[in-house]
């Protein structure tokens, strides 16, 4: 029996300065809804007093649940840990730094009530976002959408509502290198988008360094596309063709006697072997891409409704 209607899941890394205001605002919002709720705070290996503070709040209110991971696993995995713990019929994930305004929760619920299984959010740009962050974020989405097979809305973040059946589907992915935003798009179900303007971070600083963003970007591309591997096959074909042309030229030069001895055969060997090698690497790449796809072991489909055993 599930008695909780709404679960909130929040990953935290070194957010000691934000927890208090976060919980005050969340509680105010949740109480105004008049539904049963729980807040799951996942400490992702913080080095500051984040988890001590969480424990204090949890001891005062059993609806606040703290989980502490053994080390820093990254926001995406921390989210999964919290989602596994969530018992609510509706589950909402958000950041701890108040960039996902708690006051938007009623709007997410309203959209869900219109029949959506997943409500994603889309961040509109605001003054406080640094130039570099804005540039890197828009480049990230442009590159991702070009190279990858799922289309992502720019500005989508991990502020999102799941119904129970969508969440159970989401938790069925066995993948280790997770790019949650892409997986959600891939899943299907009825998905909506809520736009909002993000305020700047109130306390502390962003945890996404350039390195982390690049890693997230690579996960996003490789998890959803084998195009980078295919590029090498195309390069191989192109090089081989160009090589053949060059060999033809070298032969003509040889016949008309405009060459020093040995040059023609040398050039032919170098050019052709180079092209064929690249081509073979590309072919191997194609096979690896398929093995890779299989080894990810993704579920093939999800059943949305079943008339024999209605889900809801
Ligand atoms: N976070 C986390 N583990 C990490 C990095 C970040 O749990 O390794 C949390 C962080 O505490 C915050 C959310 O994930 O609640 C988003 O992180 P941040 O605000 O640093 O990212 P940004 O908003 O700058 O993209
Ligand atoms: Mg943030």
The pLDDT tens digits for 197-240 are 777 766 667 666 677 777 777 777 777 776 777 777 787 788 88
Shared domain check, 233 and 122: no
pLDDT recorded at residue 211:
76
Q: Which atom of ligand 1 is nearest to the CA of 14?
A: 11
Q: Which atom of ligand 1 is nearest to the CA of 44?
A: 7
| 312, part of any domain | no
Shared domain check, 280 and 177: no
Task: Give the distance (Å) from ligand 1 centre to CA of residue 76.
Answer: 9
Shared domain check, 265 and 236: yes
List the residue whose alpha carbon is closest to atom 3 of ligand 1: 75
What range defines the domain where residue 111 resides?
Answer: 6-224+299-306
Shared domain check, 206 and 170: yes
| 189, part of any domain | yes
| 181, part of any domain | yes
| 72, part of any domain | yes
Domains in the chain: how many in total? 2
Shared domain check, 112 and 17: yes
Residues in contact with ligand 1 by the CB-under-6-Å rule are: 11-13, 15, 44, 72, 74-75, 78, 95-97, 99, 206-208
Shared domain check, 256 and 111: no
| 166, part of any domain | yes
pLDDT recorded at residue 311:
42
Q: What is the rounded CA–CA span in Å between residue 58 and residue 72?
A: 21
Shared domain check, 275 and 126: no
Indicate the pTM of the whole model: 0.71
pLDDT recorded at residue 8:
96
| 117, part of any domain | yes
Shared domain check, 231 and 210: no
pLDDT recorded at residue 157:
77
| 311, part of any domain | no
Shared domain check, 99 and 136: yes
Shared domain check, 36 and 72: yes
Among 8, 13, 203, 215, which is best to mutate for testing ligand 1, by the most ligand atoms less than 8 A from CB? Answer: 13
Shared domain check, 277 and 288: yes
List the residue whose alpha carbon is closest to atom 14 of ligand 1: 75
pLDDT recorded at residue 116:
95
| 149, part of any domain | yes
Task: Give the distance (Å) from ligand 2 centre to CA of residue 201.
Answer: 6
List the residue whose alpha carbon is closest to atom 23 of ligand 1: 206
**CATH assignment at residue 198:** 3.90.550.10
Residues in the chain where the model's pLDDT stays below 50 = 1, 306-307, 311-312
pLDDT recorded at residue 110:
93
Shared domain check, 237 and 213: no
List the residue whose alpha carbon is closest to atom 2 of ligand 1: 75
């Amino acid at each position: 029996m599930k008695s909780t209607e709404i679960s909130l899941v929040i990953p935290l890394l070194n957010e000691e300065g934000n927890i208090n205001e976060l919980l005050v605002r969340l509680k105010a919002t949740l109480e105004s809804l008049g539904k049963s709720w729980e807040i799951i705070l996942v400490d992702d290996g913080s080095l500051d007093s984040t988890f001590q503070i969480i424990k204090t709040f949890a001891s005062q209110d059993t609806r606040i649940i703290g989980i502490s991971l053994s080390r820093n696993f990254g926001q995406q995995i921390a989210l999964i840990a919290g989602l596994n713990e969530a018992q609510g019929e509706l589950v909402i994930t958000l950041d701890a730094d108040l960039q996902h305004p708690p006051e938007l929760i009623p709007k997410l619920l309203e959209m869900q009530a219109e029949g959506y299984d997943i409500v994603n959010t889309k961040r509109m740009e605001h003054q406080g976002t640094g130039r570099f962050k804005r540039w890197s974020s828009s480049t990230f989405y442009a590159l991702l959408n070009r190279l990858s097979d799922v289309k992502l809305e720019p500005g989508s973040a991990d502020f999102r509502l799941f119904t129970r059946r969508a969440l159970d589907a989401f938790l069925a992915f066995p993948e280790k290198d997770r790019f949650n935003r892409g997986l959600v798009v891939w899943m299907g179900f009825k998905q909506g988008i809520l736009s909002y303007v993000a305020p700047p971070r109130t306390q502390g600083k962003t945890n996404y360094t350039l390195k982390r963003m690049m890693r997230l970007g690579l996960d996003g591309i490789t998890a959803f596309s084998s195009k980078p591997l295919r590029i090498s096959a195309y390069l191989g074909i192109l090089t081989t063709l160009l090589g053949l042309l060059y060999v033809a030229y070298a032969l003509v030069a040889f016949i008309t006697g405009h060459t020093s001895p040995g040059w023609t055969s040398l050039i032919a060997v170098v050019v052709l072997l180079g092209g064929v090698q690249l081509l073979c690497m590309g072919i191997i790449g194609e096979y690896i891409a398929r093995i890779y796809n299989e080894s990810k072991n993704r579920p093939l489909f999800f059943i949305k409704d079943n008339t024999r055993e209605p889900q809801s």
